[in-house]
Structure 1
Amino acid sequence: MNIRLKKEEKVEVLCADDLYGIMQRVLVRESRIDRNREHLWTVSLDNAYRILNIELVSLGTINKTLIEPMEVFSIPLQKRAVKVILVHNHPSGELTPSERDKDVTDQLIQVGRIMHVPLMDHLIISEEDYYSFMDSGLLKELQQSLKYVPAYEIKRRYEKAAREKGEQRGEEKGKKEIARQMKKKGIDVELIMEFTGLSKAVIGRLKEE
């Protein structure tokens, strides 16, 4: 459901405060009954960080709402957004992100990369305050996660990293450097073996420097 904005609300979003002022008013407009349920909105931005659209994607229960990547990015793609911000409310007023909030954000960061519509922030809001994944540093942390990164992309990243460090002076050395970095990130040994062709014993002896 598209959220109608007043002319003065179609502003540039340069920080979380800018958006929270708008989303707080959007939430308060809801009936008291609906305010006690979790909402999920997408905020589509243009290249100048101006709001193109705010869409209510899902209306859930008191502590959970449905989040499907296809639904999250559907309207931003239609609006030709170049950036997107995710917003959802916690009716309890407790703004600390849950493990599920973190996991969903991790997944949507990767979807945004594939779609070339990066997830710029994720706000958890109440009627009184908000939590910003970007301002807290959590967004940057999740951007380093490999949980939802396709296997081919993991391989490409580490091959590129090895070349840039100038440590690929020989095929075997290059493979070991890739394996070492993948091991450091906690990637499964079987996957490292598949990518590098190194044996489990060789990988086991590599130091995570």
Structure 2
Amino acid sequence: MKKLSEFLICFFKNIPASSDAQSAAVSIFRIFAGIMMLPYGWSKIQNYGELSVNFFNDPIGIGMLPSLWLTLFAQIGCAAMLILGLQTRFAAFVLFINMAVATKFHFFDPFFVKALPILFLGMYAFLMVSGGGKFSLDNLIFRNVKTENSARSNMNIFSRSVRIAVCFVLSWIVFSNAFSGIFSFLILALVFALFASAIYGYCPITDIIRKK
């Protein structure tokens, strides 16, 4: 009875879980995010002949086949990497860009059509921040690699907020089809860079100014 009461107190008081429990939750979420994407990649392999001729009207302007190959790399290769926890942030980044392009393609469709790529977009954004967790190949491979303080931050809350706001504005402009082709892809890459710097709280310019 005592253990049950302690569990209920932790549950309803929202006491943070232990680091191992958080790592386990991230790993489960990572595997789920990878498994959920695999069927989309497999369906494109099954319809390869048709899609190689017309792949969603060449969404980023690099040609039908290159667009299809990149999508297959993301939805099969990177999804498998997520399941294994291998180079998790890189795999999540590729899938994040893939889902950003899908969101752009469906931006003016009904909400229930574009909701799915937006949900995937949020999942992969989370994994870019969290990494693969303790129970991953990344941790197994690099656990003995010494690095400097990974949580280093030199950015105040105002600067973070401004960057996040710019990300939303740029994303809205791109998703509204104000730009097309490779230019929209480059803007999405800039959005990712701003997003990552805001989350991790790092600005290299600040360090350069301090050194001077």
TM norm structure 1: 0.28
Higher helix share: 2
Q: Identify which of structures 1 and 2 has the higher relative contact order when contacts are C-alpha pairs closer than 8 Å and 6+ apart.
A: 2
Q: Larger radius of gyration, structure 1 or 2?
A: 1
Point out the structure with the larger strand share: 1
TM-score where L is the length of structure 2 = 0.28
